[in-house]
């Protein structure tokens, strides 16, 4: 596995396949080291890329109090964040309306 994949948490995803999403011919996972992007691995050209996460998505990598991940909704890439802070639970869901365009992230809801 190349260094970029290791650097951006690919090995973590191997152990937890529920954190992978497949859309637009690529696997996607949240970068668990830098907290700033979704890492992609394209099947067709076997290349790793990064998609910046939306601004305002609460990413706190604390295994006891938060969880982040990717999903697919209506053929579009989604990211979510759940967080527990002082017995208060927050869930945020964002969808990327135009694949690969950071400005197209749209927050669907916060619960």
Q: 16-67 pLDDT, tens per residue?
A: 445 899 999 999 998 866 667 899 999 999 999 999 988 877 555 555 567 7
**Which residues neighbour 25 within 8 Å (Cβ) at sequence distance 6 or greater?**
42, 43, 44
List Cα–Cα distances, 105 to 12, 79, 88, in angstroms.
Answer: 25, 9, 25
Which token pair is 77?
Answer: 């890439």
Which token pair is 23?
Answer: 């859309």
Looking at the DSSP bridge assignments, the partners of residue 72 are 77
Q: 72-107 pLDDT, tens per residue?
A: 999 999 999 888 777 788 888 999 999 999 999 999
How do beta strands 76-85 and 88-96 pair? antiparallel
Domain ranges of the chain: 3-110
H or E, element range at 93: strand 88-96
């Amino acid at each position: 596995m190349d260094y970029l994949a290791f650097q951006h948490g690919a090995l973590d995803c191997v152990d937890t396949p529920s954190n992978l999403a497949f859309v637009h011919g690529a696997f996607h996972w949240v970068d668990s080291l830098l907290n700033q992007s979704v890492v992609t691995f394209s099947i067709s050209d076997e290349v790793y890329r990064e998609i910046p996460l939306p601004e305002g998505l609460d990413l706190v990598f604390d295994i006891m109090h938060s969880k982040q991940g990717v999903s697919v909704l209506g053929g579009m890439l989604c990211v979510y964040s759940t967080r527990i802070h002082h017995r208060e639970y927050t869930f945020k869901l964002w969808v990327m309306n135009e694949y690969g365009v950071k400005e197209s992230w749209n927050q669907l809801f916060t619960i």
